[in-house]
Structure 1
Amino acid sequence: MPAVRHASFAPHVAPDTQLLILGSLPGARSLAERQYYAHPTNQFWRLLGEVVGRPLADMPYKDRLAALREAKVGLWDVIRSAERHTSSDSLIREVEAHDLAALVADLPNLGMIAFNGGTAAAIGRKQLPPLDGIAIVDLPSSSAAHTIGFAAKLEKWLALKTALEV
């Protein structure tokens, strides 16, 4: 099966975003549903729900996004488009990256950028200029394919709370 070129979504950010979480590229289920982290086995919404203190995984998608905006959390992906024939990050080829520097420049309250998984971190860190006063965090992937277990992931993800404390 030949690889297909996939494109990511528009950023979900507001001018007062304090925490920006960057994934790699939406998987097949997310692309089909036009929703970030739509696959039911992906732990993203459970993990982030623990960070913001809201049951995000139990909410309709539009309410999840509204809750993130209220919590000053933004979402985007480091890859604008790439070729891939399954949802695995290891099969991503011919990457065209997003202009993360331009987005970050438009977020004056940003205190932390978190990369969801190793692929996002490897590609995303190359796109960022030197940043003063903005913490950069590499997170274990929320994907079920990253099998360290929810509790181990949550321990790392809870570090994101520091970006939201005022």
Structure 2
Amino acid sequence: MTRKSSFAPVVDDRVRLLILGSLPGEESLRQAQYYAHPQNRFWELVGAALDIELRPLDYEDRLAALLARGVGLWDVIADARRAGSLDSAIHDARENDLRTLVASLPALRAIAFNGRKSATTGRKQLGDAGGSYRLIDLPSSSPAYAAMRFEEKLSHWSAIGAIVREA
């Protein structure tokens, strides 16, 4: 099992919503892009929630579109040993410093966790938000999470659109 590392955060001082995944999968690591696996529904889910079509855009344009709407990306795990892409295969994880990143985002209103592993790891580190921002658990956009249809996932992901549209 090789050690795999997360990417740098995609944030700026306009970020109102930070979406946290667990650790990039094999295809994402190969392409050095968040949510690069073609069957991962992240870009469709977040795009539908924000009323923009992200999948047809080049990767850099996707990131720019998210930032322009106040949405940032990162992962809760800095690095870990893992064979394959499944969260259940993560071992010896070292967490990213979420508290420091969150403290650097003056406009932050909410943190959304993409999947169970992200939520359990991130909530453990962040503890009680103290009312300064909301914590939102979302169903995983991964194709490995097949217990919920796309439409069901979207009904949960739609909540982030309202946060982003708040003035």
Q: Normalised by the shorter chain, which TM-score bucket?
A: over 0.9
Deviation at 1:82, TM superposition (A): 0.3
2:144 maps to 145
1:19 maps to 17
2:33 maps to 35
Q: Residue by residue, what CA displacement relative to the aligned partner does 1:18-59 show, whole Å, maximum 9, x if unpaired?
A: 000000000000000000000000000000001111110111
How far apart in 1 are the matches of 2:14 and 2:62? 17
1:157 maps to 157
Amino acid at match of 1:152: E
- Give me the identity figure in percent: 49
The alignment partner of 1:32 has SS state of: helix
1:5 maps to 3
2:67 maps to 69
- Paired residues of 1:5 and 1:82 also in contact (CA < 8 A): yes
The alignment partner of 1:96 has SS state of: strand
Deviation at 1:83, TM superposition (A): 0.4
| Deviating 4+ runs (over 3 angstroms) | none
Residue range with higher mean Cα deviation, 36-45 or 53-62: 53-62
- Paired residues of 1:101 and 1:129 also in contact (CA < 8 A): no
State the superposition RMSD in angstroms: 0.8
Deviation at 1:129, TM superposition (A): 4.3
Deviation at 1:126, TM superposition (A): 1.1
The alignment partner of 2:37 has SS state of: coil
Matching residue within 116, 133, 137 for 1:118: 116
Q: Residue by residue, what CA displacement relative to the aligned partner does 1:80-112 show, whole Å, maximum 9, x if unpaired?
A: 000001100000000100010000000111001
The alignment partner of 2:158 has SS state of: helix
Aligned residues: 164
Segments of 5+ residues of structure 1 without an aligned counterpart are none
Amino acid at match of 1:156: H
